[in-house]
Amino acid sequence: MKQDLAAIKALLDDRVEKYNRPDFIPNDPVSIPHRFTKKQDIEISGFFAAILAWGQRKTIINNCIRLMDLMDNAPHDFILQHQEQDLHRFLGFKHRTFNDTDLLYLLYFFQWYYRQHESLETAFTGDQNQIKTQKERLIHFHDLVFSLEEAPHRTKKHISTPARKSACKRMNMYLRWMVRKDNKGVDFGIWNNMKPADLVCPCDVHVERVARKLGLITRKGMDWFTAEELTDHLRAFEPNDPVKYDYALFGLGIEEKF
């Protein structure tokens, strides 16, 4: 069994080196925040890129580019300074089941939030004496987003939470982008109050399939506990940065059809 684990680690380490590199960026939603250099622009564009990241990657990227264009390619400035008449341009925006009702509320939330805070990171971390786990951070973020009286019930389905036992694939991917620190140029590592060791692996269908084939997932179904199980196995390979293996699992699944 030890030999099997050693072989799996060797395979995954090899694929991390193959896929965690800049040529991964253009065909992935992470290309959207890479259009920006300002911290808040990266946060906001990355959030929307993650939220819209389901379906064909080309369609995701095209719709995200369109959304950034609607924000004058300066999302933080637009969030802070837009007036009500500026919101008409977003009417009719749609990506799968995400529509203009959802978008307009999130713009409203971001304006409320960024007028009080410098970074979106604190929307996750909250009181660090009380909120210490990734599960608690994701629940806190979800509850904060929908704490405003104007929050539409329908928009809740677009921001997952472990409180509903969701695996939170898109939110975990977003946090990977913001928190992971290495010199490979894909993830940004611009947040410091969360550690890469705290991250939970994003689990899309490709990651799940490969992880099950390698025996890294044994639970039936895909929920928060399954994502934690996978991450625990990956943490055994790399305690300080388990989610770096997201690249390997995703690459094996989508590029190599492992």
* pLDDT tens digits along 2-20: 459 999 999 999 999 999 9
User: Strands, E, within the chain: which ranges?
Assistant: 94-95, 98-99
Q: What is the mean pLDDT of residues 158-175?
A: 97
Residue 130: band (very low, low, confident or very high) from pLDDT cuts 50, 70, 90: confident
Q: What is the mean pLDDT of residues 79-107?
A: 97
Residue 95 in 3-state DSSP?
strand
Q: Hey, how many other C-beta atoms are within 10 angstroms of the C-beta on 144?
A: 15
DSSP state of 80: H
Torsion sign, CA atoms 81, 49, 41, 68: negative
Into how many domains does the chain fold?
1
Per residue in 198-220, pLDDT (tens digit) is 999 999 999 999 999 999 999 99
Residue 258: band (very low, low, confident or very high) from pLDDT cuts 50, 70, 90: confident
Residue with tokens 């991390």: 16
Residue 124: band (very low, low, confident or very high) from pLDDT cuts 50, 70, 90: very high
Residue with tokens 């960026």: 25
What was the pLDDT predicted at 3? 54
Amino acid at the residue 139: I
For residues 132 and 89, the model is more confident at: 89
Residue 99 in 3-state DSSP?
strand
Domain boundaries, position 16: 2-254
Per residue in 44-74, pLDDT (tens digit) is 999 999 999 999 999 999 999 999 999 999 9
Q: Measured at the alpha carbon of residue 255, what is the angle toward residues 253 and 258, in degrees to the nearest 5?
A: 40
Tokens for 136, please give them. Answer: 């608690």
Residue 1: band (very low, low, confident or very high) from pLDDT cuts 50, 70, 90: very low
Q: Give me the percent of the chain exceeding a pLDDT of 90.
A: 95
Task: Name which of 166, 150, 48, 52 is nearest 98 in CA terms.
Answer: 52
The model carries a pTM of 0.96
What was the pLDDT predicted at 127? 83
